[in-house]
């Protein structure tokens, strides 16, 4: 089928781009050279204020490159990042990549049990984190093989309360950022010349974890070219934004999330935007930052726009500086759209992506063309998208016919780390099979009809039912468990568990308490319903749609 979406493209956006053949580090280096005095990073939080210009961010990155070399970070070494949105994340990200290392994005809010799985699966030799995470690492250190644990004592110096003697198992592995920055050694011209100099098409840059539709731990392997290309695609989509204007991006989506990493960080660097960081979610902090720094670019999720608009109405805080918002992770509700746009007059458009595609593949037009609420928009430049029959994967469907969305483009991953079978199942003839059910209308706009089967989206975070079910089944007296997502006006969805028990003394609070010890807070069921049986089909497969409609 012809690419109907091209007719809906704003005239300013080309169908195909000439991509820069540079690494992510070289992208930062180029921007620092061209726009050295643009604001790059702002952290204004908890009586701490740090502001870096692009030349200063680049210089900080080079200091950390030198520090990483001194602690023997080698080419292809995996480095797990367990950090919130702080300047350390950004500088270390580009420093690790400059040396040919691999960034492994990990949510620092995970439990020790979960962190262990990520570090082990990724073969991480290094961890970059902050003091609060040390108790978690101390709990699992006997089960992992780490060379160094790098502690951010620069941006957490005001509230650092670290007694190294409490962590004797870790003490010989601990390295402090402040010490790395004190090192006298400097990089030679030869060192600088070699940084970021490798095959960007094949060189692995980031392991971005996703559970897919099954909840099985899988890491999407993203190359330097995947991520540079995706940043360039988005920059062309928001064509009215220019580096010389030093726009302000609010980075409230975690940088360890593919969306935050690409749209919040890499796109900002490519545009020479200021990245105004929010280290943890606080609606009061977010509104203050928007107002104080005149944020004009705000990537987010529907629940964020909802919370911002409701709080702004209540407090009468001026957020009219916001100009462009790209919404992802879940469907954008018309009511949320109307309320937010009426307050800001911003361009709020829905987009779509997945970790395996760096992540962005579709966006509604921003400055020109038509934006359709409820649709994920048009495939971005050089991105091919098709709707195919769910059962006959090689059968392409027509306009307004429901089927699986498949995608091909320069942003599609190299494959899954150490998982050839899942790679072959997901990428066929160059197309990434998303597992999402969608339609394409007569104008080339795509709409998700059904999210990935069984997956739950809680405030933009993915929850895979199988993982939660496995934890519940470990509770003594539980026979069966099925987990589903229930619609929620603020969070999008919440987790609900249906449980069959053979011990009548087990209570809802018992299940929830056990889950809290094993799972991140957003994965913990908010509701538990005990049932006599869980509906199944003739093949024994649980019929979750019957539970959702129960």
Spatial CB neighbours of 501, under 8 Å, sequence gap ≥ 6: 477, 478, 479, 530
Residue predicted with more confidence, 11 or 451: 11
d(C-alpha 211, C-alpha 462), whole Å: 8
What is the band of 541 on the pLDDT scale with cuts at 50, 70, 90?
A: low
| Cα atoms found within 13 Å of the Cα of residue 306, Cβ hemisphere only | 17
Asked whether the predicted pLDDT for residue 479 surpasses 90, the reply is no
The region of weakest confidence among 21-25, 60-64, 381-385, 536-540 is 536-540
The string of DSSP letters for 134-155 reads HHHHHHHGGG---SEEEE--ST
Residues 419-448 pLDDT 10s: 999 999 999 999 999 988 899 999 999 998
Indicate if the pLDDT at residue 159 is higher than 60.
no
User: For the segment 41-52, what is each residue's pLDDT rounded down to a tens digit?
Assistant: 999 988 888 999
> Smallest Cα–Cα separation from 417: which of 229, 134, 217, 221?
221
Q: Is 151 exposed, middle or buried (0-12, 13-18, 19+ CB in 10 A)?
A: buried
The pLDDT score that the predictor gives to residue 157 is: 67
* pTM for the structure as a whole: 0.86
**Cα torsion angle, 518, 521, 523, 524, sign:** positive
* pLDDT tens for each residue of 208-219: 998 644 557 899
**What span, in angstroms and rounded, lies between the C-alpha atoms of 485 and 501?**
21
Q: For position 489, what pLDDT does the model report?
A: 84
Q: What is the pLDDT of residue 212?
A: 47
Least confident piece of the model among 152-166, 198-212, 273-287, 427-441: 152-166
Considering only CA atoms, which of 243, 207, 366 is closest in space to residue 299? 366
Q: Is 414 left (phi over 0), alpha (psi -120 to 50) or beta?
A: alpha
Q: How far apart are CA 339 and CA 461, in angstroms?
A: 23
pLDDT for the residue numbered 352 = 95
Radius of gyration of the chain (CA): 23
Q: Which two tokens stand for residue 310?
A: 């409701």
Q: Which of 382, 331, 386 is nearest to 358 (CA)?
A: 382
The pLDDT score that the predictor gives to residue 46 is 82
Q: Which CATH number fits domain 51-199: 3.40.50.980, 3.40.50.620, 3.40.50.300, 3.40.30.10?
A: 3.40.50.980
Q: Tell me, what's the pLDDT at 538?
A: 41
Instruction: Calculate the alpha carbon distances from 311 to 34, 292, 424 in Å.
Output: 38, 16, 46
| Residue 537: band (very low, low, confident or very high) from pLDDT cuts 50, 70, 90 | low
Q: Which segment, 232-241, 297-306, 497-506, is predicted with the most confidence on average?
A: 232-241
Q: With a cut of 80, say whether residue 30 has pLDDT above it.
A: yes
Task: Please check whether residue 362 is in contact with residue 352, taking contact to mean a CB–CB distance below 8 angstroms.
Answer: yes
235 C-beta neighbours (distance < 10 Å), count: 18
How far is 128 from 447, CA to CA, in rounded Å?
Answer: 39
* CB-based contact 260:299 (threshold 8 Å): yes
Q: What is the arithmetic mean of pLDDT over 280-307?
A: 93
What is the per-residue pLDDT for 259? Answer: 94
pLDDT at 92 over 80: yes
So what's the pLDDT on residue 491? Answer: 82
Residue 110, pLDDT > 70, answer yes
| Residue of 333 and 92 predicted with greater confidence | 92
pLDDT given at position 164: 61
Kindly indicate the confidence band of residue 189, based on its pLDDT and cuts at 50, 70 and 90.
Answer: low
Mean pLDDT of all residues in 515-535: 93
DSSP character string of 390-426:
SSSTT-B--TT--EEEEEESTTS-SEETT-HHHHHHH
pLDDT higher than 50, residue 539:
no
Lowest pLDDT segment from 351-365, 460-474, 505-519: 460-474
- Percent of the chain beyond pLDDT 90? 73
Pairwise CA distance, residues 472 & 245, whole Å: 52
d(CA 449, CA 435): 11
Res 326 pLDDT > 80: yes
What pLDDT band is residue 185 in, cutting at 50, 70 and 90? low
Check whether 453 has a pLDDT greater than 90.
Answer: no
**Phi, psi dihedrals of residue 218, rounded to the nearest 5°:** -140, 140
Q: State yes or no: pLDDT of 233 exceeds 50.
A: yes
Crossing angle of helices 283-293 and 302-315, in 10° steps, is 80
Mean pLDDT of 259-284: 96
Fold of 456-548: GMP Synthetase; Chain A, domain 3 (3.30.300)
pLDDT at 213: 45
Dihedrals phi, psi of 450, to nearest 5 degrees: -145, 135
Cis before 411 (ω within 30)? no
Mean pLDDT of the chain: 91
Q: Where are the domains of the chain?
A: 51-199, 456-548
Sorting pLDDT into bands at 50, 70 and 90, what band is 336? confident
Q: Are 16 and 7 spatial neighbours (Cβ–Cβ below 8 Å)? A: no
Contact 451, 458 (CB under 8 A): no
């Amino acid at each position: 089928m012809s690419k109907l979406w091209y007719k809906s493209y704003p005239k300013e956006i080309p169908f195909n781009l000439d991509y820069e053949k540079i690494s992510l580090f070289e992208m930062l280096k180029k921007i620092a050279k061209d726009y050295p005095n643009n604001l790059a990073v702002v952290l204004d939080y908890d009586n701490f204020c740090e502001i870096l210009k692009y030349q200063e961010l680049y210089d900080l990155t080079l200091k950390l490159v030198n520090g990483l070399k001194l602690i023997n970070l080698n080419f292809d070494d995996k480095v797990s990042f367990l950090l919130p949105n702080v300047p350390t994340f950004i500088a270390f990200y580009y420093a690790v990549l400059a040396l040919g290392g691999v960034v492994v994005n990990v949510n620092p809010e995970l439990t020790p049990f979960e962190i262990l799985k990520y570090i082990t699966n990724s073969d991480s030799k290094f961890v970059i984190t902050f003091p609060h995470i040390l108790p978690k690492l101390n709990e699992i250190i006997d089960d992992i093989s780490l060379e160094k644990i790098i502690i951010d004592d620069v941006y957490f110096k005001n509230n650092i309360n670290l007694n190294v003697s409490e962590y004797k198992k870790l003490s010989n592995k601990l390295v402090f950022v402040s010490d790395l920055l004190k090192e006298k050694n400097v990089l030679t011209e030869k060192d600088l010349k070699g940084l970021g100099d490798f095959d960007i098409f094949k060189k692995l840059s980031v392991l971005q974890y996703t559970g897919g539709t099954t909840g099985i731990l899988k890491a999407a392997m993203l190359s330097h070219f995947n991520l540079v290309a995706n940043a360039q695609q988005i920059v062309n989509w928001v064509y009215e934004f220019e580096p010389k204007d030093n726009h302000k991006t609010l980075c409230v989506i975690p940088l360890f999330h593919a969306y935050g990493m690409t749209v919040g960080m890499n796109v900002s660097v490519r545009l020479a935007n200021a990245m105004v960081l929010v280290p943890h979610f606080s609606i009061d902090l977010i509104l203050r930052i928007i107002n104080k720094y005149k944020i004009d670019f705000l990537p987010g999720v529907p629940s964020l726009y909802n919370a911002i608009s409701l709080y702004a109405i209540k407090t009468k805080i001026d957020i009219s500086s916001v100009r462009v918002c790209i919404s992802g992770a879940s469907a954008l509700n018309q009511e949320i759209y109307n309320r937010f746009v009426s307050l800001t007059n911003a361009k709020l458009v829905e987009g779509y992506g997945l970790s395996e595609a760096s992540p962005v593949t579709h966006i509604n037009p921003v400055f020109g063309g038509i934006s359709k609420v409820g649709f994920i928009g048009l495939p971005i430049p050089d991105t091919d998208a098709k709707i195919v029959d769910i059962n006959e994967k090689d059968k392409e469907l027509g306009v307004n016919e429901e089927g699986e969305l498949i995608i091909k483009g320069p942003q599609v991953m190299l494959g899954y780390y150490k998982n050839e079978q899942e790679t072959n199942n997901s990428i066929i003839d160059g197309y990434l099979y998303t597992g999402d059910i969608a339609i394409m209308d007569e104008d080339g706009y795509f709409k998700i009809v059904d999210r990935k089967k069984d997956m739950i989206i809680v405030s933009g975070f993915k929850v895979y039912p199988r993982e939660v079910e496995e934890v519940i089944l470990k509770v003594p007296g539980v026979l069966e468990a099925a987990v589903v997502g229930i619609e929620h006006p603020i969070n999008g969805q919440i987790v609900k568990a249906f449980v069959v028990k053979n011990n009548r003394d087990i209570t809802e609070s018992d299940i929830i308490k056990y889950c809290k010890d094993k799972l991140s807070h957003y994965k913990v069921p908010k509701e538990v319903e005990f049932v006599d049986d869980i509906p199944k089909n003739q093949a024994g497969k649980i019929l979750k749609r019957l539970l959702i409609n129960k």
